[in-house]
Every structure is written in C-alpha cells, then in structure tokens.
Amino acid sequence: MSREVVAMILAGGRGTRLEALTAKVAKPAVYFGGKYRIIDFPLSNCANSGIDIVGVLTQYESVLLGSYVGSGIKWGLDGTNSSAAILPARERGEVGATWYEGTADAIYQNISFLDQYDPEYVLILSGDHIYKMDYALMLEAHKARAADCTIAVLNVSLEEASRFGIMNAHKDGTIYEFEEKPAKPKSTLASMGIYIFTYQELKKYLIEDAKDENSKHDFGMNIIPNMLNDHKKLYAYEFDGYWKDVGTVDSLWQANMDLLADKELDLYNLKKDWKIYTSDTTSHPQIIGSEGKVTNSMVTQGCIVDGEVSGSVLFDSVHIGVGAKVVDSVLMPGVLIEEGAEVYKAIVDEGVVVEANSVINKEAKKVELVSVNK
Amino acid sequence: MAKVIGLVNLHSDIDFKGLTERRPVASVSFLGRYGVIDFVLSNLSNSNIDNVGVLIKEKPRSLFKHMGLGNSWNFNSKSGGISLLYNERYANNPHYNHDINNMIENIAFLEKSKADYVVIAPEHIITTMNYQDVIEEHEKTGAEITMVYQHIKNADQSFIGEHCLDIKSKRVVEVKENKGNRKERNISLDTYVINLKTLMKLLTKAQNISAFFNLSDTLAYLCDEREIMAYEYKGYARCLNSIEAYHKYSLEFLDLDIFSQVFKSNWPIYTNTNDTPPSKYKKNAQVKKSFIANGTIVDGTVEESIIGRNVEIGKGAVVKNCILLSGCKVSAGSHLENVILDKEARVEKHKELIGDKDSPLYVKEGDVV
C-alpha cells in the first residue's frame, strides 16, 4: 500500500559528549524529563502528525533501543496500516555486512524499505532532539511550493549561529547556500536536522552519492550541497517553538531545567494539543512522606521522597531518604539517595546509590555527572 | 498442568453513592492511578491466569474503556484474552441481574475455555491473593468447590453485611451474614475455585432452586449437602463496600506498613496507562504523607491525601484527608478537608469544603462549586 509520507529517524549515534550516559545505550535512548527517553519526542511528533510508517535507523547499542521502540505500540504505531520498523545496520545480500557510514548512507541502505511503501515524500528526523512539531504543517509547505527538499530551521542568535549548520536563504525561504558551522555566519537560520524530500529526487541523489568515494555520505555535507549545485528547489521552513539538541551533559541538564522553568515545551498539554507518549511502568503512585518537602521539581511514579528536593527532576522509582537534600539535579530511574546525603547540580545515572551523609558537588559550579559507568 | 480461567464477579449490590452513579465500582479510581478492578486483575495476572472473563452487572462504558484488549494485565496472549460478559437481557431487572444468569447468558465463554478450574473473585475485596496457592490446595483436597475466607478479629467493624462461614474440619458447614455483632469471624472473601464441570451443573441446579439465587446464595444453600472446602487466606484484605470504606481504606494506604503489604516487588499492580507527564511541584508546594499520580501540578499544601492524574492545586490551596480524582482543579486559596472530588470537578467559588472524617463530602464528576 503506498503512502504519502514515510518518516525515517536517524537513531544510530553514540553521542560521546554525553559521556557515561551513553556508555551502554544509544543517545536517542537516554532518559529525559522525568519519564521519557529522547526518542519519544520525534516518535510522538510522528504519531501526532498522522504519520503511520516510521523507520528507526539504529547502529550504536541498538538492542535496548530496538526493544524499546518495538512494534511502536507506545506511540500507537502498531495498527494494521501503521508500523514502527527498526532498521539496524546489518548484513545484506548484495554487499555483505556494512555499517552506516553517514546519515545519507543510512537512508541509502534502506531504499528497499522505503520502496515497499512507494512514498511521495520522505521525512528525515534526528533521534536526539527535544521539541514538539507538527510535521504535517511542514509537509503542507513542502507541497505548496512543489519543493524538492524542505529543511526545518530555527532562528538562533548570531553568537550561536557558528555552532550550527546555517542555511542562507532569500526572503521567500529559497535556500541558496548551506554552511556548516560558519566562523562568520551570514544568516541565523540553523538547520534542525529535519528534512522533507520528494522521495524520487532523494533516491536519485542517494544512489549518486553512494557511488562517490570522496563523499562523507552526509545530508548536510553532501546531499544538500549537491542539490543546491543542481539548482533544485530547497526551502527553509522556520520553526519557532522550543527545540534543543541535548548532545552534551550540560545541555541535557539544561533542557531538564527548562522543563521546570515552564519554557515553551508544555509537557502538561495544557493547550490539549500534543502529548508525548512513552513507556509506562507498573510502579506505584509517587509518595511524598511525612518528612518530605518538594518544590520547583518534577517527580514521577514509583518515587518515595522523605527528604528535601528542589529544582530537580526525579525519574521512576527514585528514593530520597530522610534528611537527604537534592538541589538542581536530575535523578534517573532507580537512584537511591540515602539518609542525610546531599546532591547539588548533578545528573545521577540510573541505579546509582548515593551513600548516607555523602555530599556531591556542593560548590555547584558546573554540572557533575555521577554514573557507575564512569 | 491444569487449565485455569478467571472470572471477575462484578455482581454485587455495593455502591459508592455519587462515585458509582455512572460507573461500576470496578472502574472507580483507586489510589490515584488505579481502578478498583486492577487489584483482582493483577492477582489473576500474577497467578499466571490469562484467560479472564469479567461478569459485568451494569454501567459498562467506563469499564470497556479501561479494559481495552487487556494488554495492561498481560491478558493479550494468543491462548488467553479478556472477555467482557454482559447480560443485556436482565440489565434493568435487579432480581434477575445476578452472576448465575450472566454465566448462563454467556455460557459460550465457559464452554469454549476447556478449563479444568474456574477462579471466581470479586473486584471490591482488595487482596494480593495468589490463586495458584488456592488451586494447589483445591487439588490436594480433591474438592470440587473451594471457598476462600479470612479469619478476622474486627468483624464488628469491617466486612459488615458480607458473608461469614462456619467451618468444621476445613469444610464450610454454614454461610451466614456478618451482622457486626461479634469480633471474630471467618469472613468469606467471595472468592472460589470451582471445577468447570461442577460450575456448569451448579448453574442448572441454582435455577431449579430459585431463579433469584446468585452464586453465593446457591453455595450457601448447598453447603450442608455438598462438600465445600474452606481455604484460609492470611494476607492483606479490605472490603470496599461503601464510600466510607473506600475513603478510609484508601487513606489507610498512606501508612507505609499497610502500603508495603500490597505493593511488593514480586506482585506488580497493573493498570492501563495514559502517558501523563511527571507531576510538577511548584514554588509554594508543601506536600506531606500523600500519594500523587502523574500529571498533577501542585502549588499548595497537600497532607494525608490521594491525588489523581492531571489535578491542579492552586497557589496556597490546602488539601487535607482528601481523595481527588483525575482532572480536578482546586483554585488558589481553597481549603478542603475530608472531601472526595470526582473526576474533573472544580473548586472555584465555594472555597471552603469541610467534610466529616467518617463521612466525606462528595462533589460530583465535572461539577463546579
């Protein structure tokens, strides 16, 4: 059955700048926001945008990510006409075992997957960004302009611009140049790594790119510049909501703090528009004990809080002992803060036990990562 | 291994006043994130029984929604499943709308199951019973019918109006009503293991005795002529047979000794889930000794209360000894004590709501007060 659009989520990256957090899991599977994994965001966006077929391309530590995504039931993608398919780098008949050599190569290696749905458009997404976005609106814009490629961009500050891939575009949104991390940016339109391609065009470029031995097989470095050289129709689609690349320990911590500060990312769906779906556990309701005090924080089910928590995000089944103090921190599932211990400005990785009366990062100058994998 | 199916029996006369005006006891919210029925369903699931029928008495809408395909309780295997058994014909006829008639109406479920034994348990008695233990005893004694009871020493205060048993050498010899006039009683937990073939015969037999007889009436009638074994269950058991009991036993869970009798790592309580975000505690939050479900935003004081999903408690509001069901809003500065707010109720104008500890004030679903 042919589809108008198929989404492909690039989820193979390790995310080395997340240090110990990605020692055993792929970056898209890293925990975020008290009960989510990062990949919940693009997957929920797909579900909410009415996209039925989602391919998830995996490579680094693909087992946990694969079993997490599963059939896509958590995002309602397991119907008769819908599917979430895990597409790992793998041994293939014609070429044997290969890795994904770049973002474009990853899609190239799955052309046969795409062909079976005969899509008109392909939506390329990154598995490691936090944002809520209606891809259907972006697709409408792509169709209205009969574009070959539409790239979602975020208007960043001039100082930030040199950290991103920058799209130089005319007033009508037509992109004429792409610069990767320019020292002197000409524009502040940063690529969000979200592309809609007209599939048959993309397919041609992927096949050509695969033959090019000098190519890095990357969308930003190769496919987009090649299309610009050929004067294909590339448009920038400006997004003005909350978007964060949580690629470092600092930015992951900051994005969690943003949730507490009621920034634009509205997890509480107060506008009733856009839920983020995730895996629910069977843990009990969260319990705040007689000695507990919780302010400016997010706490999820399974937690038992008998100490003092402020400015922090607590994941499933975190236990805070009597007299313990947790400030400006992110505590991942199953963390145990024993009696009288103190934790400041830290990300505490899954399952860590902070022993009674110990003190972590009291000076709180920078974010400290506490992990058994470190 | 013997094949076992489960039947959750929702046929009872219990109501929780306003809470059960439009829903059965089974789907009344419990402890913030569960439905009352989740406990018996989890017991079945944890006892490795995955073919389950629910004998529905009335008001099934919210229950249909709650149950879905049964995946939340692991009933979605190819060999198992959840069957919602409803007796349309007698839905509006109280004397005939009983469990025996429901089973007769839905006899296909029993016939097709090819089970050896049927576990029958009610939703309103909360336990963490492992039915495999009962079945083991049932097989050992060679009984065709086993009744589960609990020996209690406060029968003058709890399980009043429920059945109690006289037991001689592990056999039930008489079934009576617990009138609350004695402290020690063997209380029937309305939970049975019955051989399927025996159950099928009982259905016919019951009709021959009285068309109004339900299963427990029938067993009570037959206990002096049939061998009914008694099995003693010693774990946690509470009977939610009134809104007062519901309020009392809900808040009793805030005592961690009680809590840990039910929430054990080897005995998960399953429920269907809603993708609600974690709860948010704002600057003025002062929460003590309370259960908070996900999706709630608190900026006031909450003490000894149970708060459901997606509740908003405004700045400086005070909530004590309350049960707030999902989606409620308590506006800033309100003061609530001993109150049950049904789903999506909003406290806006009438800012002081004080109920009695033994008789909580109830606000209907969706009402603005």
What pLDDT, on a 0 to 100 scale, did the predictor assign at position B273? 85
What pLDDT, on a 0 to 100 scale, did the predictor assign at position A271? 59
When the pLDDT of each residue in chain A is averaged and rounded to a whole number, the result is 94
What pLDDT, on a 0 to 100 scale, did the predictor assign at position A263? 66
Measured between CB atoms, which of A282, A286, A295 is closest to B268? A282
| Residues 6 or more apart in contact with residue A303 via CB below 8 angstroms | A286, A287, A314, A316, A317, A318, A319, A320
**What are the pLDDT digits (tens) for B93-119?**
999 999 999 999 999 999 999 999 999
Question: Do residues B328 and B315 lie in contact, with contact meaning Cβ atoms separated by under 8 Å?
Answer: no
The answer to whether the Cβ–Cβ distance between B278 and A298 falls below 8 Å is yes
Rounded Cα distance, B283 and B291, in Å: 19
Residue B11 pLDDT more than 90?
yes
Tokens of B14: 């219990």
Cα torsion angle, A50, A55, A58, A61, sign: positive
Among candidates B85, B117, B114, B116, which has minimal Cα distance to B100? Answer: B85
Instruction: Identify the contact set of chain B against chain A, taking CB-CB distances under 8 A.
Output: 31-33, 71, 254, 256, 259, 263, 268-271, 273-275, 277-295, 297, 302, 306, 310
Among candidates A127, A140, A166, A157, which has minimal Cα distance to A49? Answer: A140
Rounded Cα distance, A111 and A148, in Å: 18
Quote the Cα angle for A277-A281-A282, to 5°: 140
Instruction: State the helix-helix crossing angle for B196-209 and B215-222, rounded to 10 degrees.
Output: 90
Tokens of B132: 């495999």
**What are the pLDDT digits (tens) for A276-301?**
999 988 999 999 999 999 999 999 99
Q: Which residues in chain A have Cβ-Cβ distances shorter than 8 Å to B316?
A: none
Separation of first and last alpha carbons in chain A: 48
What pLDDT, on a 0 to 100 scale, did the predictor assign at position A272? 63
**What are the pLDDT digits (tens) for B17-28?**
999 999 999 999
Residues lower than pLDDT 70 in chain A:
263-264, 269-273, 374
Cα torsion angle, B163, B59, B363, B330, sign: positive
What pLDDT, on a 0 to 100 scale, did the predictor assign at position A116? 96
What pLDDT, on a 0 to 100 scale, did the predictor assign at position A273? 66
Rounded Cα distance, B301 and B361, in Å: 19
Rounded Cα distance, A218 and A225, in Å: 10
* pTM for the structure as a whole: 0.94
The answer to whether the Cβ–Cβ distance between B287 and A267 falls below 8 Å is no
What pLDDT, on a 0 to 100 scale, did the predictor assign at position A217? 97
Best of A293, A295, A313 to substitute, by most chain B Cβ atoms within 10 angstroms, is A295
What pLDDT, on a 0 to 100 scale, did the predictor assign at position A148? 98
When the pLDDT of each residue in chain B is averaged and rounded to a whole number, the result is 96
Host H or E run for residue A259: helix A249-260
The answer to whether the Cβ–Cβ distance between B275 and A282 falls below 8 Å is no
